[in-house]
Amino acid sequence: MIRDDAFEQTFTEVLEEILGWDLELTDDDSPKTVEGWDSLAQIRLVNELETRFGVRLPDEALLEEQSVGSLKALVLEHAG
Amino acid sequence: MRDDSADEAGEAGEAGEAGERRLTFTRDDLERFAAAGGDRNPLHLDAGFARRTPFGAPVVHGALLAIGMLGAIPPEQLAQIGTVRVWFAAPLMVGDAASVSVSPSRWGAGAWEVRLTGRGRALARLLAAPAGAEPAPQAVPAAAILTHPMRSAPAEPEPAELTPGATSGGAYATRSDELQQLAAALGAGRLDPALLEGLAWASYVVGMELPGLHSLFSAVTLNALAPGAAGALAPGAAGAPAARHVLSVRDHDPRTGRLLIDGTLFDAAGDPRASAVIECFTRAPALAPDPRLLAAGAEPAADPGAVLVVGGSRGFGAALSLALLARGYTVHVAYSGSPESAAELTRLAGAGSIRLELHRLDAADPVALTALGEALGGAGAPLKGLVLNAALPPLPMGVTANSGAELADYVARSLTLAAVPLGAMLPLLGPGSWVVCSSSSALTAPPRDWPHYVSAKGALEGLAGWLAAAAPGIATVILRPPAMRTEMTNTPTGRIAAAPVETIAARLADQLARGELPAGLTVLEPDAIVVAGR
């Protein structure tokens, strides 16, 4: 899997679905900068990314604070 | 229930107005909602059950919060709503007040966003839109309906019932008049009856069916459906009341316990009434400590005696109590809540229970602790050890001007649970005694939602530092364990990396029994020992 327009669009759709559609997030955004990005939202993000991209993300995706960029990197790393 | 804008519910009026109100719910309100909608999960109604969860006390039904939040929408606009999406971020406790703010939403024309805040943070977020804002989800086929009646006690489903594709269902009906009265009292009298029933139904599904007894309701997307036309959205038509429902598990993540359930509510004629995608979490209760692990390799203490564990009937306190028993100590356990947990501790202690004494008291009560101290002192021997392990459940909290007092109150109440027992037992402690203060690794890696918990542990460590200076002959131990598998960490993400209580408890008990911890202050962290200030 490569980080192309299709990847970015799917990723953005997931972020909008879970965190809200009016946020215009960048790779640097994280729970520290996004209101409502709490642990439950993190679980939803991980599950939805796994479903949409057909990947299984490691537990660190659930446990450690992630940014938009680090989540993208995890998806790319673990995609087939 | 108390809605501080109830008088204004009919006056919020014009489309586009935003406003704020406050909501509070009593135990009676929860009983009424449970009777009207069928969700009798003890997390909402049984203080003893709730005490043994991470929340510590009964929690207001999420669906009831949602009805209260919908009541903030101007009535004429509320009547047009056909779709509701709500996410529950943190619980509202019985008797606590929360603020509701409502504003038009960019989700679509006629859409509204409602936010519920309390304890300085967001508790819930709700989006409501007229019919057609979202495509109607596929109704689960009526042919799959099973015939079991509505439950009066929560289910405890087998794992197979939680696997994707598993279907279930049965009878479901509300006491619609009572539900309507509740809604009206919350300003939501104009809400489509199908949505009102649907919210009660979603609550029932999670709390009574899937996953039932040990559950957490976290989100729902709910659509009102027109009678006689599967999949069509037509709010406002009263239709026939609900009579049956069908559920299908869409997804289950065993790492976190997250369940996604598709459901459809039908009337007696089999016409769909409402459809929902329900998100919830299974909460398998934390297991009791394993006495075999705690006793494995245990050597008798060089100098056993009587010890007091304050907060020792569950979780880490119970594990440490059992570990100390296994090393020959006489263990007095002070506990405040659950006689069931205390009885379980006696059972787990087995033969060691002859050296186990249980004292049910409030650790913050100086009269009770003084009496206990006098009783222990009357035995003639000094107290060998004291474990200060009583703690308050940390509900998620934020730091704002309005939550500052609540945060400080939590710190004060928490410190009281340590200071009162310490004050009562100090006359019984002397050179050769030890005092363990249960702090947490959270102090060095503060979780975002626990500013109060971190502050409370900081205060406890301050008290420990004072003790080490004031009584240098005592071994004062600050224990900063990592998150352990107890009810306090039994949350969706808390359970993933939690360590077994037995590992930490057995190691500490060995160190105490061998006399390895010196007089003065010692800080024990998961894989390191820092000795400070002899």
Instruction: Report whether pLDDT(B58) > 90.
Output: yes
**Chain B closest-CA separation from residue A22 CA (Å):** 8
Nearest to B255 among A39, A40, A59 (CB): A59
Does residue B284 carry a pLDDT above 80?
no
A62 to chain B, minimum CA–CA distance in Å?
7
Written as six digits, the tokens of A71 are: 């989540």
Q: Do B253 and A43 touch (CB under 8 A)?
A: yes
pLDDT of residue B532: 40
A5 and chain B in contact, CB less than 8 A: no
Please state at what angle helix B62-70 crosses helix B176-185, rounded to 10 degrees: 60
pLDDT at B142: 55
Of B189-198, B242-251, B321-330, B466-475, give the lowest mean pLDDT range.
Answer: B242-251
Between positions 16 and 55 of A, the ones with CB within 8 A of B are 21-22, 31, 35-36, 38-40, 42-44, 47, 51
Of B50-64, B194-208, B254-268, B492-506, the poorest mean pLDDT is in B492-506
Q: What is the mean pLDDT of residues B400-411?
A: 95
What tokens does B330 get? 């006489």
Mutation to test the A interface, candidates B255, B450, B490, most A Cβ within 10 Å: B255
Which residues have a Cβ under 8 Å from the Cβ of A5 and sit 6 or more positions away? none
Distance CA B369, CA B375 (A): 10
How many Cβ atoms from other residues are within 10 Å of residue B108's Cβ? 13
pLDDT the model gives residue B162 = 92
CA distance, residue B386 to nearest chain A CA (Å): 34
* Among A27, A25, A31, CA closest to A13: A25
Scanning every residue of chain A, which has its alpha carbon at the shortest distance from the alpha carbon of B105?
A22
Q: What is the mean pLDDT of residues B78-97?
A: 95
Taking the CA of residue B281 and the nearest CA in chain A, the distance in Å comes to: 10
Q: What is the mean pLDDT of residues B49-56?
A: 89
Query: What does the pLDDT read at residue B146?
Result: 57
Average pLDDT over residues B477-499: 83
Strands B306-310 and B330-335: parallel
pLDDT at B529: 43
The whole-number pLDDT of residue B159 equals 87
Helix, strand, coil shares of chain B, percent, nearest 5, are 35, 25, 40
> Would the CB atoms of A42 and B493 count as touching at under 8 Å?
yes
In this prediction, residue B499 has a pLDDT band, given cuts at 50, 70 and 90, of confident
> Edge-to-edge strands of the sheet including B19-24?
B2-3, B19-24, B97-104, B112-118, B121-130, B81-88, B215-224, B272-282, B258-267, B242-253, B167-171
Q: How far apart are CA B32 and CA B93, in angstroms?
A: 16
**pLDDT at residue B147 tops 70:** no
pLDDT band at B231 (very low <50, low <70, confident <90, very high): very low
Is pLDDT at B165 greater than 90 in this prediction?
A: yes
CB B485 within 8 A of CB B498: yes
